[in-house]
């Protein structure tokens, strides 16, 4: 018996993929050519799984802002927000996020993972109940495990199952926090937020929505799925990331509850880690402004999403249940999914391969996340590559 025995499963997994060719989980991007193209493992590819929804990673204004910030304020803050790591721009970004979401306050985190994990771990505690969607992201699962609250899962995107479980609580003591996502990262389906918000009201629960994949993607103002569903007033907490539509790294939690300011003092993922670098904050402030100034990016994103979704569906693939910028082809045969991934890569299309247990319901996924920056020709190239796969 050794400390390392439990890792042998990963050695087997690695061997399964390591066919002397490319390891899907270890590809190296040697050069990024644009938001949609790169040299990966020596080959020029179209990036079709980057979550770069608005394609802003190479925006000249964002790059200049980051360059100026690194020159003026250095490469890193070298400390926690609670110690020496709060610079004026961290506060400005929090104010701008609160203004964007129309909330009383915002807290920013060093990663989206820290935002979701930290809030999921802190808001509810011993004696409380957390009801979470069964397909929740790992950051939510990790957080709720730390919370000390009772954890109850409900069937993915199934308000009637949620209601059944809320009813069973039977007015017991303690608070209930419901946690859902906006767009789900694996299949691209959207939470039925209007129904979930109605249940939250009926049962006197709190609601947290993780908008990691929906901020900048949904809603007239780009605020996310809660905005699109018209339930922002019911969402006690909205969390999200800077690593997708905003093209950098970091995360946020916004709320109208005055206590948000106090939650800072209790959230270990906020306190015990260094704050985001000045360049990251500067580019994020810029891309948040660009998201507001350029609604046409969201329109282009959805045009590309509709195009890709319709074409892959027409090819007969089993894809996610609704059109969204996350377009995932499902297979119950993981060997086939790996083969498909390799064939797509050989044709210059780089998508995400997701296999169980990382994917929901035992499926393996070839997951595309389309961008506003993809040209029509690039979407056609992606479709043409999928068309060559033997189903
Ligand atoms: C739903 C969800 N929440 C949180 C995160 C974490 O965000 P980040 O990767 O920016 O840390 C992700 C990342 O994929 C996500 O999909």
DSSP per position, 28-91: -EEEEEETTEEEETTEEEEE-B---TT-GGG-HHHHHHHHHHHHHH-S---SBTTTT---HHHH
Residue among 342, 305, 313 at smallest CA distance from 330 = 313
Q: Does 109 contact ligand 1 (Cβ within 6 A)? A: no
Most confident of 24-38, 57-71, 332-346: 57-71
Of 16-25, 265-274, 333-342, highest mean pLDDT: 265-274
For position 327, what pLDDT does the model report?
97
| 109 confidence band (pLDDT: 50, 70, 90) | very high
Mean pLDDT to the nearest integer, 325-330: 97
Q: What is the mean pLDDT of residues 79-88?
A: 98
| C-beta 215 within 6 A of ligand 1 | no
Averaged pLDDT, 161-176: 93
- Segment 109-121 mean pLDDT: 98
Q: Is the CB of 77 under 6 A from ligand 1?
A: no
- Tokens 């799984």 label which residue? 49
Probe residue for ligand 1, chosen from 185, 209, 246, 270 as the CB with the greatest number of ligand atoms within 8 Å: 185
Cβ of 241 below 6 Å from ligand 1? yes
Helix (H) or strand (E) holding 199: helix 193-202
| 3-state SS, residue 240 | strand
Tally Cβ neighbours within 10 Å of residue 18.
Answer: 13
Question: Pocket of ligand 1, candidates 49, 51, 53, 112: which has the most ligand atoms within 8 Å of its Cβ, to mutate?
Answer: 112
CB 187 within 8 A of CB 328: yes
Residue 12: φ, ψ to 5°: -65, -45
State the chain's mean pLDDT as an integer. Answer: 95
Indicate whether residue 111 lines ligand 1 (CB < 6 A): yes
What span, in angstroms and rounded, lies between the C-alpha atoms of 313 and 391?
13
pLDDT at 347: 97
Q: How much distance in Å is there from the Cα of 387 to the middle of ligand 1?
A: 30
Q: How far is the CA of 53 from the centre of ligand 1 (A)?
A: 14
Give Cβ neighbours of residue 68 (< 8 Å, ≥ 6 apart).
282
pLDDT at position 170 = 86
Alpha carbon 181 to its chain centroid, in Å, reads: 9
Please tell me the predicted confidence (pLDDT) of residue 21: 59
Minimal-distance CA residue to ligand 1 atom 12:
212
Count of CB atoms within 10 A of residue 321's CB?
10
SS3 219: coil
Q: Which string of DSSP letters, residue by residue, matches 345-388?
A: HHTTEE-EEE-TTSSGGG-EEEEEE--TT--HHHHHHHHHHHHT
- Percent of the chain exceeding pLDDT 90 equals 88
SS3 222: coil
What pLDDT, on a 0 to 100 scale, did the predictor assign at position 129? 98
* Mean pLDDT value across residues 175-187: 97
Asked whether the CA dihedral 346, 347, 352, 358 is positive or negative, the reply is negative
At 263, the pLDDT band (50, 70, 90 cuts) reads very high
pLDDT at 20 over 60: no
List the beta strands (DSSP E) in the chain: 29-34, 37-40, 43-47, 105-109, 129-133, 150-154, 176-181, 206-210, 237-241, 251-255, 326-331, 349-350, 352-354, 364-369
For residue 359, is pLDDT > 90?
no
How far apart are alpha carbons 367 and 264 in whole angstroms?
A: 35
Q: For residues 331 and 134, give the distance between their C-alpha atoms in angstroms, rounded to a whole number.
A: 20
């Amino acid at each position: 018996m050794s400390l390392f025995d439990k890792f042998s499963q990963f050695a087997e997994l690695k061997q399964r993929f390591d066919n002397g060719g490319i390891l899907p989980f270890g590809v190296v991007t040697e050069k990024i050519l644009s938001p949609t193209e790169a040299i990966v493992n020596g080959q020029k590819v179209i990036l079709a799984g980057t979550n770069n929804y608005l394609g802003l990673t190479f925006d000249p204004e964002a790059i200049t802002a980051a360059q100026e910030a690194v020159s003026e304020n250095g490469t890193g803050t070298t400390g926690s927000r609670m110690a020496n790591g709060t610079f004026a721009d961290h506060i400005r970004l929090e104010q701008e996020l609160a203004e964007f979401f129309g909330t009383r306050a915002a807290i920013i985190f060093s990663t989206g993972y820290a935002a979701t994990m930290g809030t999921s771990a802190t808001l509810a505690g011993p004696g409380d109940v957390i009801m979470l969607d069964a397909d929740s992201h790992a950051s939510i699962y990790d957080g709720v495990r730390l919370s000390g609250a009772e954890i109850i899962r409900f069937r993915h995107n199934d308000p009637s199952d949620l209601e059944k479980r809320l009813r069973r609580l039977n007015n017991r003591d303690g608070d209930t926090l419901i946690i859902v996502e906006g767009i789900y990262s694996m299949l691209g389906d959207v939470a039925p937020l209007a129904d979930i918000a109605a249940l939250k009201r009926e049962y006197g629960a709190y609601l947290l929505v993780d908008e990691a994949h929906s901020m900048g993607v949904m809603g007239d103002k780009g605020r996310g799925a809660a905005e699109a569903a018209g339930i922002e007033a019911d969402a006690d907490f909205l969390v999200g990331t800077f690593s997708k539509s905003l093209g950098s790294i970091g995360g946020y939690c916004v709320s109208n509850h005055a206590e948000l300011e106090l939650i800072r003092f209790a959230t270990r993922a906020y306190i015990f880690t260094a704050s985001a670098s000045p360049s990251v904050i500067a580019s994020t402030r810029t891309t948040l402004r660009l998201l507001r100034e350029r609604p046409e990016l969201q329109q282009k994103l959805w045009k590309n999403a509709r195009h890709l979704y319709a074409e892959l569906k027409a090819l007969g693939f089993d894809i996610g249940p609704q059109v969204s910028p996350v377009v995932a082809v499902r297979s119950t045969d993981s060997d086939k999914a790996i083969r498909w991934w390799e064939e797509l890569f050989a044709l210059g299309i780089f998508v995400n391969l997701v296999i169980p247990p990382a994917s929901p319901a035992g499926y393996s996924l070839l997951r595309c996340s389309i961008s506003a920056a993809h040209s029509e020709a690039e979407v056609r190239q992606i479709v043409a590559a999928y068309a060559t796969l033997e189903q």
